[in-house]
Structure 1
Amino acid sequence: MTTGYDVVIVGGGHNALVAAAYLGRAGKSVLVLERLGHLGGAAVSAEAFAGLPARLSRFSYLVSLLPDRIVGELGLRIDLRSRSVSSYTPWTRDGVESGLLVERRPTAATARSFRERTGSDREFAQWQEFYGRIEEAAKALAPTLTEPLPDREQVRSLVADAAGSQLFDDLFERPLGYAIDDWFTDDLVRGVVATDGLIGTHTSLYDPSLLANRCFLYHLIGNGSGEWRVPVGGMGAVTDELIRVAREAGADLRTGVTVTSVEAGENGGQVRFTDGDTEQTADARFVLSGVAPAVLDRLRGRESSTPRGAQLKINMLLTRLPVLRSGIDPALAFAGTCHLDETATDLENAFRDSAAGHVPDPLPGEMYCHSLTDPSILGPEQQRQGWHTMTLFGLHLPSTLFEGRNDDLRKQLADGYLAGLNRYLAEPIEDCLATDAHGEPCVEAKTPLDLEDELNMPGGHIFHGDLNWPYADESTDKWGVATDAPSLLLCGSGARRGGAVSGLGGHNAAMAVLERS
């Protein structure tokens, strides 16, 4: 059976839903095809632990790059809440247990924390200057993400005019590690800054490819502030709203279907898929791909290299927050990002160890507690009893480490991260873990190979591949979504300006279609 549409979208992640909503509202007939039994891809919530009504953001968990423009234009009824704390990093020196507290809007408490760590006010002054300049650059760059791609010189002018030419050089011209070394002197402070260049990215801070710079940039320019906000109701609440607006726009959203091939040419494309026992074909003027580029290549019968993800995600459910040795209120320590073993030296050593095929020691990672900002993801009784969720994201763990030993290494790393956390706690985290209906501790770990298996995400790469600069080069199309076939466009994280829960790939692919229609 063959059916015709204006647009067929392969994959039903959040970007696909954004594209479907925009195109449906413009009067286009749209078909979305999703392999899984649900929509949203990695932007979902789930009851991860048997018998316990806690809906965790199982994969993606915070929102920064989703532009307020998309939220407003689509009429998304979502609540993205700010966290009072940006980060907390416990440290031990000469028998003293303390930590670096960074409030989202720094007060005297943040200044004191820097002074205790570094012995002067210089590092905090540098911090304020550095991030103040980045915020000005973000305000200039963020509006370009939903517009046709600027070229490099336009981006240079925007950043230099807003924050100075030196910041452009720091972000776009030389390896991030050197810039951080110039701005800051303390190893721990340098590490806190550097982590935004390494989330989901396996590279050295000093690599001349500037991959860390690109990752850093996307982590800090969302909505002109770079703030990472908590989605009330969990990440699934964001997807639920995208499903609502896409359906209201008339999009045909199908789940549990398997796309078997994609063909595309000058004036149209064809998608073959199975729905149950039925083989079907959909013809379209445009085919949009929300799947990873490596998956699209396979659907087109082409060879492709597999990207390499580099992270471990651990979800936990706690009956109480653990007490820290430093004495800080756990509600402060875990409200923002709590960094574990992430000095600049730790991060660089972890990269070198993992690149050589060894498990890093210590294991760098960061944690945060969703339920401190949004308790609604917990059941009423859990809220009353003071239960909490906890998310841990481990860095520099490439998919190649897990090949042939995924189950064993998953458990080894989960145990290793809990042991690493325990070094900073006055009580073991194991004493705070809830148990599920089977009496098992509520700890769930996801490796890159797990993401590949569950989400069809090659290599478990959360960005579908290396991030690109948010500007055009000689070979880039106007919106950063083109392929070698005019009727086939990228609308997922693999598009230029893709990655994270942003909707940018979906928005920009929809704009490209509407311009050409």
Structure 2
Amino acid sequence: MTTTSEPFRQAAYDVVIVGGGHNGLVAAAYLARAGKSVLVLERLGHTGGAAVSTRPFAGVDARLSRYSYLVSLLPAKIVRDLGLDFEVLRRTVSSYTPVERGGRAGGLLVGGSDARTRESFARLTGSDREYENWRAFYATTGRLARKVFPTLTEPLPTRGELRARIDDEVAWRMLFEEPLGKAVERHFADDVVRGVVLTDGLIGTFADAHDVSLAQNRCFLYHVIGGGTGDWNVPVGGMGALTDALAGAARAAGAEILTGHEALRIDADATAAPAEVRFRTATGEGAVAGRTVLVNASPRALAELLGGAPAAPAEGAQLKVNMLLRRLPRLRDTSVDPREAFGGTFHIAEGYEQLARAYAEAATGELPSVPPSEIYCHSLTDPSILGPELVARGYQTLTLFGLHTPARLFEKDNQGARGVLLAGTLAQLDAHLAEPLTECLALDADGRPCIEAKTPLDLDRELRLPGGHIFHRDLSWPYAEEGAGGAGAAGRWGVQTAYPNVLLCGAGAVRGGGVSGVPGHNAAMAVLGR
């Protein structure tokens, strides 16, 4: 979507939304369909925010989900309500973790069938015990997911109400009260199995397994409840297919979307009077009034727009790498087809002790000596993101997500630290390949390898994610905190700010984080519930 110079359709709108990312678009579509006049102001020249598909490699017809890449937390309710033409596909393999023991290359494959998964566990551990523990553990998280996920698009329950709804004291203690590391160590004995389980508590979150803040627990919770199953699915057409569908739904319902319009300030007060949003375009500055303003940006950006006290600092802790390959690399473990290994989540250096060591090194200001990461191949499940010629020639994409790399490690020399970390991460992958990954990389139109890496500082600069934090700040529990009452409909939906006519609808809202549309839905419900 390109910048438009159309004048505003009216002097004041029912709702002005700052930010055209996926949550802002969800809110715009719901509100416009309910008959509200809606204006969306987006700083960039396109909508979608972090949920976009782009062609990052010159002259190459490959549209990659450049920042966010898989879908789990998007409720089917939102897709149905808004009539979105959007589809996700399940991966046939959940994960593969290469392991070398006794001088032999092997691995743990989860997926394909129960029998095959059981056999893989038995080969790794020598018995069925770890597999049975795995089944029991994820049966517990599955029961919890089926009860918690529907609440994300309902008014916030209290802690006691959510506990009663879950009605499982073992699950409650395991995920809501004690550090995740205790449950992992209690259920599993094998270091590799422990690490595979723990990773869901660390993606986008810098924490130790035994962190008393339970930040890892909250991260784990959101990673296992999606859709009531915990499945992480592949968006057909890439992540941009979702945000393009949302923008289309919002505009079809009557919402006005202006790109190239950067919000500079929100003037609001403690009354319910309309707020004024001042903005800047390529040709000058202007202002528009909204009876309610929704901010689809981080709490840091909200504080800056309101001119109040700075928000609590946030810090991302990940490395995002996008690659295009001429073909998938061969594996040292010849018992598994690379198409299966890379079709799910390919875990690299993510043993339990390796994760603990990487966290300890990063906490002292050092890049992890053995960087942990995980990879998946979008194009194996959904080749539509590649041009027909690339598909015919067998090209594939790879998406890598590195853990335990907080923004502080890049502050002195972002470019240098990025290069060192990328080289170390690829070296860990190469240790499990029968050929170097670099030999498989495609070349762009200028003869450069098709690989790009993004640090937390890169994400802060490009997307204004605070400290590169992909969730805008540490994830919240999906219930109302003490003292959150008294904020009316906004408080009931977890989107309130200090101003009654300004609501937060981005990932930093309660029950925010990830590509879910939940904060956008909930902000819209708060507006409609007034």
Q: TM-score, normalised by structure 1?
A: 0.98
The residue matched to 1:51 in structure 2 has which SS? Answer: coil
- Counterpart in the other structure of 2:199: 195
Cross-structure match for 1:429: 437
Aligned counterparts of 1:68 and 1:149: Cα–Cα separation in 2: 19
After superposition, where does 1:41-80 map in structure 2 within 5 Å?
Answer: 41-80=49-88
Q: 2:502 aligns with which of 463, 479, 488?
A: 488
- How do 1:423-462 residues align onto structure 2 when only pairs under 5 Å count? 423-462=431-470
- Aligned equivalents of 1:209, 1:29: Cα separation in 2: 42
CA contact (8 A) 1:311 1:397 kept: yes
Which one-letter code corresponds to 2:296 in the other structure? G
CA contact (8 A) 1:272 1:280 kept: yes
**2:499 is the counterpart of 1:479:** no
Asked if structure 2 preserves the Cα contact closer than 8 Å seen for 1:137 and 1:158, the reply is: no
1:89 Cα offset (Å)? 0.2
Residue equivalent to 2:4? none
Q: Which structure 2 residues correspond to residues 211-230 of structure 1 after superposition, within 5 A?
A: 211-230=215-234
Moved over 6 A (4+): none
| Counterpart in the other structure of 1:420 | 428
Q: CA deviation at 1:474?
A: 2.3
1:141-176 per-residue CA deviation (whole Å, 9 max, x = no partner) reads: 11100000111112112222xxx3111100001000
State the secondary structure of the residue aligned to 1:315. strand
- For the pair 1:158 / 2:165, whether they are aligned, the reply is yes
Pairwise CA RMSD: 1.1
Answer yes or no: is the 8 Å Cα contact 2:348–2:372 preserved in 1.
yes
Residue 367 of structure 2 is matched in structure 1 by 359
Question: For 2:422 and 2:352, how far apart are their aligned partners in 1?
Answer: 22
Task: Tell me how far 1:372 sits from its aligned partner.
Answer: 0.3
Give structure 2 stretches of 5+ with no counterpart.
1-7, 485-490
The one-letter amino acid of 1:127's match is: W
| Separation (CA, whole Å) in 2 of partners of 1:305 and 1:502 | 23
**Number of matched pairs:** 512
TM-score (norm 2): 0.95
Q: Deviations over 1:423-481 (max 9, x none)?
A: 00001101100011111111100010110111111100000001000011222220000
1:396 paired to 2:404: yes
Residue 311 of structure 1 pairs with residue 318 of structure 2 = yes
Distance 1:315 1:247 in 2: 31
Secondary structure of 1:478's aligned partner: helix
1:22-171 aligned at under 5 Å gives the runs: 22-103=30-111, 106-160=113-167, 164-171=168-175
2:12 match: 4
Between the aligned residues of both structures, percent identity stands at 56
Contact 2:369/2:424 (CA < 8 Å) preserved in 1? no
Letter in 2 for 1:280: G
User: Residue 258 of structure 1 is aligned with which of 255, 259, 262?
Assistant: 262
Given candidates 297, 310, 327, the residue that maps to 1:320 is 327
Cα shift at 1:306: 2.8
Structure-1 residue corresponding to 2:25 = 17
Q: Which amino acid aligns with 1:507?
A: H
| Secondary structure in 2 matching 1:226 | coil
C-alpha contact (below 8 Å) 1:258/1:273 kept by paired residues:
yes
Quick one: which amino acid aligns to residue 135 of structure 1? Answer: G
Partner of 1:499: 513
| Residue 270 in structure 1 maps to residue 284 in structure 2 | no
Q: Deviation digits for residues 179-202 of structure 1, max 9, x if unmatched?
A: 110011111100000000000000
Q: CA deviation at 1:94?
A: 1.2
2 CA distance for matches of 1:432 and 1:49?
Answer: 16
**Contact residue 36 and residue 256 of structure 1 kept, 8 A:** yes
Shift of residue 281 of structure 1?
Answer: 1.1
8 Å CA contact 1:433–1:441 kept in 2: the answer is yes
Please tell me the residue identity of whatever aligns with 1:322: P
The alignment status of 1:300 with 2:306, answered yes or no, reads yes
Conserved 8 A contact 1:172-1:213: yes
2:106 aligned counterpart, secondary structure: strand
Q: List per-residue Cα deviations over 1:331-360 (Å, max 9, x = no partner).
A: 110001000000111111111110110011
